[in-house]
Amino acid sequence: MVVRASSVIRCLLTVAAVLSLLMAGAAAAGGGLSTSFYSKKCPNVQSIVRAGMASAVAAEKRMGASILRMFFHDCFVNGCDASILLDDTATFTGEKNAGPNANSVRGYEVIDAIKTQVEASCNATVSCADILALAARDAVNLLGGPTWTVYLGRRDARTASQSDANGNLPGPGSSLATLVTMFGNKGLSARDMTALSGAHTVGQARCTTFRSRIYGDTNINATFASLRQQTCPQASDGGAGDAALAPIDVRTPEAFDNAYYQNLMARQGLFHSDQELFNGGSQDALVKKYSGNAAMFAADFAKAMVRMGAISPLTGTQGEVRLDCRKVN
């Protein structure tokens, strides 16, 4: 029997293509995130998280901003791995008491409550990291912001790093150059950074985080500075004055919209780092665009959240699926 060379080549190419698909499938199953990760294992997870967040935001709108911030503080410290949720123990120091988090990050009990509901539906299946990613998306949407498809399949860290939390989270006194560098270190562009900063359209901040801005910065609206000085004393009192809260967005403090950028153009950024985005630098033009185009901001914010949610996830057999978000199994 004569076998044509062309037939042999076609056969080899077919085998190669099949093997390539099989290998790609195995790689996808072993690592990386997917939009359908729980479609068979826990099909109700998204509705459970949504219901939990709807309840939390209905009780206190500020909680939406708090959960969004928690996700940011998780992802920027060794990836989106729920390390921020681990409690300190006698033999373990977590991230909750790092400078940027202590007496500041809040809403842990909301994630606990959602985790309990998820466990009741799908035991030992859904990671705390994925619950936090979904909760952050729902928080934004429940406050009137955009929604987006969350890629899932993250695993939970067995470790945490207080020192990394202290070193990887940009502070409210950051310069534009520092912001661009710190976001860039996480694979996020300057545009991503400016869009993600729009999260400050919701939430409240303690006097200690903006005192130097309202008393020391010159690129600030005088009336706005005076307003904030009414509840934030110039000298630290170590108590109620330091802890006094102010809305980050003076215009629409509980609505997720583009008013944050309008504030910046009016020199009403609450943090020094906020106003750095509109202060004669590289991001001025984008701030102007976002201030006048809510749809553009919403679209860019959603894309940037997906990118942030993909920072160094643990996947496959890495990490674990915690049964209790506050402690390793």
Q: Which residues are annotated as a binding site for Ca(2+)?
A: 74, 77, 79, 81, 83, 95, 201, 249, 252, 257
**How many angstroms separate the Cα of 235 from the Cα of each of 215, 218, 238?**
10, 19, 9
Q: Which CATH architecture has domain 176-308?
A: Orthogonal Bundle (1.10)
**How many angstroms separate the Cα of 302 from the Cα of each of 89, 147, 150, 280, 295?**
36, 7, 10, 26, 11
Burial 61-76 (b: 16+ CB within 10 A, else e): bbbbbbbbbbbbbbbb
Q: How far apart are CA 140 and CA 306, in angstroms?
A: 13
Is the model's pTM score more than 0.85?
yes
Indicate the residue type of 181: T
In this predicted structure, what is the pLDDT of residue 10? Answer: 52
SS3 115: helix
- Return the closest-CA partner of residue 319 out of 115, 128, 162: 128
Task: Say if CB 273 and CB 118 are below 8 A apart.
Answer: no
Q: How far apart are CA 153 and CA 126, in angstroms?
A: 8
Residues facing residue 206 across a β-bridge: 245
Alpha helices in the chain (DSSP H): 5-30, 45-59, 62-75, 108-121, 128-142, 162-168, 176-184, 190-196, 207-216, 222-229, 240-243, 259-265, 272-275, 284-292, 294-308
How crowded is residue 158: how many other Cβ atoms within 10 Å of its Cβ? 15
Q: Which residues are annotated as a binding site for substrate?
A: 170
Task: Say if CB 325 and CB 128 are below 8 A apart.
Answer: yes
Start-to-end CA span in the chain (Å): 63
Residues comprising the chain, all counted: 329
Q: Which residues are annotated as a binding site for heme b?
A: 200
In the chain, where are the structural domains located?
Answer: 44-168, 176-308
Q: How far apart are CA 305 and CA 38, in angstroms?
A: 20
Q: Does domain 44-168 have CATH number 3.30.450.40?
A: no
How would you write the pLDDT of the chain (329 residues) with one tens digit per residue? Answer: 444 544 444 544 444 444 444 334 333 333 489 999 999 999 999 999 999 999 999 999 999 999 999 999 999 999 999 999 999 999 999 999 999 999 999 999 999 999 999 999 999 999 999 999 999 999 999 999 999 999 999 999 999 999 999 999 999 999 999 999 999 999 999 999 999 999 999 999 999 999 999 999 999 999 999 999 999 999 999 999 999 999 999 999 999 999 999 999 999 999 999 999 999 999 999 999 999 999 999 999 999 999 999 999 999 999 999 999 999 99
Instruction: Give the residue numbers annotated as catalytic, written as ranges.
Output: 73
In this predicted structure, what is the pLDDT of residue 248? Answer: 98
